[in-house]
Structure 1
Amino acid sequence: MRVVIQRVSHASVTIDGRCKSAIQEGFMILVGIEEADTQEDANWLCKKVLGLRVFDDENGVMNRSILDIQGEILVISQFTLMASTKKGNRPSYIRAARHETAIPLYEYFCEELSKGLGKPVGTGEFGADMKVELLNNGPVTICMDTKNKE
């Protein structure tokens, strides 16, 4: 699994002109899933995301987690994160998981984040044409890949 985590002041996702989810201060997370990914990968990412200390403390130092600030999370499925650009100029998405693998793992990831956060996590809609808006705060953007755990 691969994620791009952005610290945001606010974020939202719109589908067919309707706002599906919106959050205030917290994380907007893009998540890409490949066939080999498992619930173990999702669990590892959840722990890392919830413990990531990138919010300012009283001294202006990035020392607080999403839990410390009682922030919110918006998770968007993003198969293009699995793109391979080794050959030519057209990305290949062959590494991206098929729907029957990706959807349950995406939903599991969101459920586990919600449990850890103690409140619902906002989501997009798997496979939909989504319009995502956000105000990146910092900017702070962190990339993580479960293939690089060690």
Structure 2
Amino acid sequence: MKRPDNVHARFLIASDATGEGMFIAETAMRERRPGHVIRRGSKLLSAQAWHGGEYTAKVQTVEQMLAVLRQDRIRFVVLDESDPGTMQTPHMRLLRDAAEREPSELALVGRYPVVRRYPREVRGQRFGNAIAVYEIR
């Protein structure tokens, strides 16, 4: 994020509500404004009620998802894969599928650890490579 060519880069964060909020807050605290633009995967790639219910995916295929990311000029995707599989939303699974199927489109920049404090099924567990950062090419 600190590289000069990334100063105004657009990011997509795909996690649960807490993870998305934490990424946005941490970024805002560490930089001067205006700076990065960060979009929530839960808003750009899906529609849902304020409480997280009534989920509807806005994209159904890898191709549709990549088109939305390009249209929104997203440069980096931050994907949190530490959520238990049963809690991962369809758009998060689609992002993971895109990264696996289209590495020339979503190039892996790095993987980073995270310790989850929620939900209780994984509380306190450290996930060594759960945060994946991809650059859209």
Per the TM superposition, whether the score is higher than 0.5 is no
Which protein is richer in helix relative to its size? 2
**Higher RCO by CA contacts (8 Å cutoff, separation 6 or greater):** 1
TM-score calculated relative to the size of structure 2 = 0.31
Larger Rg computed on CA atoms? 1
Compare the two structures and name the one with the higher strand fraction.
Answer: 1
Question: Structure 1 length normalisation: TM-score?
Answer: 0.29
